């Protein structure tokens, strides 16, 4: 074990030597330092998030006031996609699709894992850097290029991909089916292929680093829950993203090489097409084999972050540390055998459907354990409401509220009527959208001092949080009602159906909250960028936290610790331990005589 501690040290010296002649390009652009790469991921993800959020406001305008003219739409989308300020119906579908794709993959997968796995894995396990700095750098550059391509696809003449973020063929395979299945879809596929490469490079690196570069004394059972969450997330990604890659590759072949993996018996645009024997259901299986673990790839890092933040700010150990690890692993495992619940109505054999009902509802058990453990952690705590803490508690609420409606959707008999309606939209936006973005915000507020050496303004943080949770629930809660009324998702307007007359004022309410919540993000953006340059200078351990990242100096250095890497003696949750003077005991403090670990 001591060898692993000393070897990186020698490494660190060579780095320091290197430090002096570092150019702007090698420091800020082609950096191999995990801390810089994490900042690059974060800032890219913030820009992607702004774009995706704006797209959602655009299509929400159409949903609340169908067919009405908005100058802002014309301003951003131009005469082609919003003539006279009225959103084009093809563009509507493109907006919905790209909003979903960017949010799920670029913000909540690349942005969340990329930022916090990169920042925290070496710092919290006591490593000088990632196992491979070069792969780490490549991971970011693949991410950036794929982001640029995805955004560029919005400017294609025939429109960005518009078949929904799940891009089911044949709709996505045939340009005859919709104009945006042409070049727009090609760019989508290219972008996703690069994204998957980025995600795999990152994931492999995270796994290797966690398994091999832990400092002396950092047993797996002493890892902070953040690291456990990032670890299982990376494993999920490495096992499931290649399957999406295969699905994408076969789709590319169907589109351009005349194969028929997904196509059969199609008559479109006045022509009968040649392909026979393929099945779109194959694509659905492949897609959701990634698609469901993806939900947890998005959610687990957020849960990891909130575990850390809640324990620190409750000044209390996380309740049931081992149960939390167990439930992360159980969720990770189960997430691979539940994908069929997205396909109850696909024509799949009903018996197979019932197997997926069973496995899916099982996931509720580890999820319930997690929720109760969070609440028990707060119980009899001594809560300090930092903005990060507010977001973490908000996360627990959205995780529970959104998770409960999942029980309805997992029940195939109930799913018949709510499948693909706004009920689903409400469910996954609350349980994975809001929860994951809350986790991300919590992470940013909490580790901002570590990232930038300065503090974010807490008052602005409070305003941001309260407006976001009110706006977030205000947007997605009414959607349950819209969905139960039977309103399908991805509809351009509902004016052609008398049965949906009742949902109009709800749609107006939703859009109003959406604009409100979007405006609230301006507070965050201002606070974030302003604090990078002007925020109060941070102290070494502002939150009085136990984990190792707070033992590093405020100024970033290569190799993280100027001297030897600290040795770990205890688990990370010794908050308010009886018999201790302070209410926290960092992990590198040796156990006193007769002290039990926990």
Partner 1 sequence: MEKLLLILVIILAVVGIAQIAKVYQVSSELQKRREEDISPTSNKVNANLWMLFMIAFFGFFIWQFVAYGDMLLPVAASEHGMAVDQLFNVNWLILITVFFIVNFLLFFFSWKYVHSKNRKAFYFAHNNKLELIWTVIPSIALAFLIIYGLNVWNKVMDEPAEDALKVELYAKQFDWTARYAGPDGKMGESNYLLITSQNPLGLITDETIEARVAELQEGITKTKNKLAGQILPDEQVEELEDRIGSYNRQIAKILNFKKSNNDFTTAYDDIIVKGEFHLPIRRDVAFQINSRDVIHSAYMPHFRAQMNAVPGMTTRFSYKPVISTDSMRTILDDAEFNYILLCNKVCGSAHYNMQMNIIVESEEQFEKWLSEQKPFVEPDAIKAKKGSEEDKVVEDGPLAEKNGN
Minimum distance of partner 1 from residue 265's CB (angstroms) = 4
Q: 381-386: which pairs have CB atoms within 8 A and are 24 or more residues apart?
A: 381/314, 381/315, 381/316, 382/314, 382/315, 382/316, 382/576, 382/583, 383/313, 383/314, 383/315, 384/313, 384/315, 385/313, 386/309, 386/313, 386/445, 386/446, 386/458, 386/461, 386/543
> Which helix (DSSP H) or strand (DSSP E) does residue 565 occupy?
none
Tell me the sheet residues that pair with 575.
584
Question: Among residues 590, 596, 546, 598, which one has the least CA distance to residue 567?
Answer: 590
Q: How many CB atoms lie within 10 A of CB 418?
A: 20
Minimum distance of partner 1 from residue 90's CB (angstroms) = 5
Q: Which is nearer to partner 1, 144 or 414 (CB)?
A: 414
Minimum distance of partner 1 from residue 296's CB (angstroms) = 18
Minimum distance of partner 1 from residue 155's CB (angstroms) = 19
Q: Which is nearer to partner 1, 43 or 404 (CB)?
A: 404
Euclidean distance between CA atoms 516 and 474, whole angstroms: 9
Euclidean distance between CA atoms 132 and 134, whole angstroms: 5
Minimum distance of partner 1 from residue 201's CB (angstroms) = 32
> Which helix (DSSP H) or strand (DSSP E) does residue 560 occupy?
none
**Backbone dihedral angles phi then psi of residue 475, each to the nearest 5 degrees:** -75, -50
Minimum distance of partner 1 from residue 381's CB (angstroms) = 5
Q: Which is nearer to partner 1, 4 or 359 (CB)?
A: 359
Q: Which is nearer to partner 1, 52 or 263 (CB)?
A: 263
Question: Among residues 88, 198, 99, which one has the least CA distance to residue 145?
Answer: 198
Characterize the bridge pairing of strands 267-268 and 271-272. Answer: antiparallel
Minimum distance of partner 1 from residue 13's CB (angstroms) = 33
Minimum distance of partner 1 from residue 421's CB (angstroms) = 7
Q: Which is nearer to partner 1, 146 or 527 (CB)?
A: 527
Q: Which is nearer to partner 1, 163 or 184 (CB)?
A: 163
The dihedral of CA 48, 29, 127, 538: what is its sign? Answer: negative
Q: Do 453 and 538 meet the contact criterion of CB atoms below 8 Å apart?
A: yes
Minimum distance of partner 1 from residue 531's CB (angstroms) = 9
Q: Which is nearer to partner 1, 55 or 266 (CB)?
A: 266
Tokens 């349980």 correspond to 431
Q: Which is nearer to partner 1, 85 or 542 (CB)?
A: 542
DSSP-assigned states of every residue in 224-251 = -HHHHHHHHHHHHHHHHHHHHHHHHHHH
Q: Which is nearer to partner 1, 141 or 372 (CB)?
A: 372
Q: Which is nearer to partner 1, 233 or 260 (CB)?
A: 260
Euclidean distance between CA atoms 69 and 2, whole angstroms: 68
Minimum distance of partner 1 from residue 389's CB (angstroms) = 9
Q: Which is nearer to partner 1, 332 or 559 (CB)?
A: 332
Minimum distance of partner 1 from residue 378's CB (angstroms) = 5
Euclidean distance between CA atoms 493 and 86, whole angstroms: 12
Question: Among residues 130, 308, 298, 296, which one has the least CA distance to residue 226?
Answer: 308
Q: Which is nearer to partner 1, 92 or 561 (CB)?
A: 92
Minimum distance of partner 1 from residue 532's CB (angstroms) = 13
CA distance to 14, 29, 30, 36, 534, per residue, from 24 (Å) = 19, 7, 9, 12, 21
Structure token pair of residue 105: 């993959």
Q: How many degrees, rounded to 5, is the angle at CA 532 between CA 527 and CA 537?
A: 105
Question: Half-sphere exposure of residue 247, counting CA atoms within 13 Å on the CB side?
Answer: 25
**Backbone dihedral angles phi then psi of residue 324, each to the nearest 5 degrees:** -65, -45
Q: Which is nearer to partner 1, 314 or 521 (CB)?
A: 314
The dihedral of CA 166, 172, 177, 178: what is its sign? Answer: positive
Minimum distance of partner 1 from residue 578's CB (angstroms) = 6
């Amino acid at each position: 074990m001591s060898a692993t501690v000393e070897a990186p040290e020698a490494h660190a010296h060579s780095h320091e030597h290197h430090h002096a002649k570092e150019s702007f390009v090698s420091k800020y652009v082609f950096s191999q330092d995990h801390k810089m790469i994490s900042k690059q991921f974060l800032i890219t993800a913030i820009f992607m998030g702004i774009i995706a959020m704006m797209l959602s406001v655009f299509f929400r305008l159409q949903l609340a006031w169908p067919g009405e003219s908005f100058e802002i739409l014309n301003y951003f989308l131009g005469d082609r996609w919003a003539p006279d300020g009225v959103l084009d119906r093809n563009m509507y579908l493109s907006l919905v699709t790209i909003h979903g794709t960017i949010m799920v993959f670029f913000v909540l997968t690349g942005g969340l894992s990329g930022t916090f796995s990169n920042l925290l894995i070496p710092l919290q396990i006591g490593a000088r850097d990632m196992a491979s700095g070069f792969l780490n750098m490549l991971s970011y550059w693949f991410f950036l290029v794929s982001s640029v391509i995805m955004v560029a696809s919005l400017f294609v003449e025939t429109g960005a991909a518009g078949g929904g973020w799940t891009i089911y063929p044949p709709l996505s395979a045939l340009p005859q089916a919709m104009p945006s299945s042409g070049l727009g879809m090609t760019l989508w596929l290219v972008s996703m292929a690069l994204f998957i490469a980025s995600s795999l490079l990152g994931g492999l690196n995270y796994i290797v680093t966690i398994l091999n570069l832990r400092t002396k004394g950092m047993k797996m059972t002493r890892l902070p829950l953040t690291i456990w969450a990032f670890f299982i997330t990376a494993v999920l990604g490495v096992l499931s993203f290649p399957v999406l890659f295969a699905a994408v590759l076969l789709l590319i072949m169907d589109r351009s090489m005349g194969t028929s993996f997904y196509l059969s018996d199609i008559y479109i645009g006045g022509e009968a097409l040649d392909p026979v024997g393929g099945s779109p259901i194959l694509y659905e299986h492949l897609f959701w084999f990634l698609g469901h673990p993806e939900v947890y790839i998005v959610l687990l890092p957020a849960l990891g972050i909130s575990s850390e933040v809640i324990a620190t700010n409750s000044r209390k150990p996380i309740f049931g540390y081992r149960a939390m690890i167990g439930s992360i692993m159980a969720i990770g495992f189960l997430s691979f055998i539940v994908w069929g619940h997205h396909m109850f109505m696909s024509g799949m054999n009903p018996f197979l459907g019932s197997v997926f009902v069973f496995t899916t509802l099982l996931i509720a058990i580890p999820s319930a354990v997690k929720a109760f453990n969070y609440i028990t952690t707060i119980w009899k705590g001594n809560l300090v409401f930092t903005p990060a803490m507010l977001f973490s508690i908000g996360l627990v609420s959205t995780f529970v509220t959104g998770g409960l409606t999942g029980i309805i959707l997992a029940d195939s008999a109930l799913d018949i009527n709510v499948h693909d309606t706004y009920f689903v939209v409400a469910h996954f936006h609350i349980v994975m959208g809001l929860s994951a973005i809350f986790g991300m915000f919590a992470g940013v507020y909490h580790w901002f001092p570590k990232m930038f050496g300065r503090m974010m303004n807490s008052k602005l943080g409070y305003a941001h949080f309260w407006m976001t949770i009110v706006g977030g629930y205000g947007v997605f809660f009414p959607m349950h009602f819209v969905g139960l009324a039977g309103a399908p998702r991805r509809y351009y307007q509902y004016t052609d159906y008398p049965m949906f007359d009742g949902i109009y004022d709800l749609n107006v309410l939703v859009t109003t909250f959406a604009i409100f919540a979007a405006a609230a993000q301006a507070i965050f953006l201002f606070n974030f960028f302003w604090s990078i340059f002007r925020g109060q200078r941070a102290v070494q351990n502002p939150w009085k936290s136990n984990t190792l990242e707070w033992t590093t100096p405020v100024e970033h250095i290569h190799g993280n610790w100027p001297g030897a890497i600290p040795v770990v003696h205890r688990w990370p949750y010794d908050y308010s331990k009886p018999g201790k003077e302070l209410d926290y005991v960092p992990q590198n403090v040796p156990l006193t005589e007769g002290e039990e670990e926990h």
